[in-house]
Amino acid sequence: MTGTIGFVGLGAMGRGMADSLLRAGHVVRVWNRSPEPVAALAARGAEPAGTLAEVFAADTVVSMLADDETVERLVLDRALLAGAAATLHVNMATVSLALAGRAEAAHAEHGIGYVAAPVLGRPPVAAAGQLNILAAGEPALLARAEPLFAAMGQRTWHFGDRPRQANTAKIGANFLLACAIESMAEACSLAEANGVRPTDLIELLTATLFPGPVYTGYGAMVAERRYEPAGFRLPLGLKDVGLALDAGAASTVPLPFGGVLRDAFLDALAHGDGDKDWAAVAAVARRRAGLPD
């Protein structure tokens, strides 16, 4: 792929992703609502953009934004799309299936190719260019985006020719992550209430039944009650559980654990844990068990 890459959204994940594109030799034009990340990437060779219109003057746009409301307000603006020179937009945010459908239709209306490519990985993984990328869209558009995926990720997983299929896979993956965190929190609370150190339990589980990054990484955070710094903030976890519940309701797929997770995340927010990692939902299981703070 040649030409300039526009990048929208330089949060904890987007900064590392844009930097990976720079390291791979792409010309990257960056925009963010706050100026500090733009200045930091400009010092590394990125082109700062003063407006979103400047970003959408690039050949291809990549966006990594927080939620439906932000995506809709910033990059689905009809005037922006109508004036865009870009012919491909790769949306890497985790968004609802309803928003995915609206985004696909809005881009088609303005003759802009649209691909969904949400990711698995925390900020250090993004900074290392080792994300797993869940992609869906027209095959020709996916082939065009592949050099970008190769720069940002270790593997690209293809889920179909409709963008919403990638969003479905990502919502399912994040729902399962939330279930894993909750189940570890409950098991650790049970262990602690009966005189077993949670760290010992997690060491056993990750060495035997549940090896891998999820149980090892989040298990240690839960057992050690280590919720800061936040790699993925708790309100975003609540948002993703809500996306799963909405998708289930729309397709008549019951998700009974979803209601438990939603209420646990709300409980954590009510107790002031909104700036902590979503692993802080484990504190709710401890309170339910009457364990000390």
Q: Is 50 exposed, middle or buried (0-12, 13-18, 19+ CB in 10 A)?
A: exposed
Q: Is 239 a catalytic residue?
A: no
Long-range Cβ contact pairs of 229-233 (< 8 A, separation 24 or more)? 229/277, 230/275, 230/276, 230/277, 230/278, 231/12, 231/122, 231/123, 231/124, 231/277, 232/122, 232/277, 232/278, 233/274, 233/275, 233/276, 233/277, 233/278
What values do phi and psi take at 81, rounded to 5?
Answer: -65, -35
8 Å CB contact between 102 and 110:
no
Q: Which of 164, 170, 233, 276 is catalytic?
A: 170
- Nearest CA among 198, 206, 283 for reference residue 237: 283
CB under 8 Å to 171, separation ≥6 — which residues?
A: 94, 97, 240, 243, 244, 247
Side chain identity at residue 232, one-letter code: F
Going by their DSSP bridges, the two strands 60-63 and 47-48 should be labelled as: unpaired
DSSP characters for 28-43? EEEE-SSHHHHHHHHT
Catalytic residues: 170
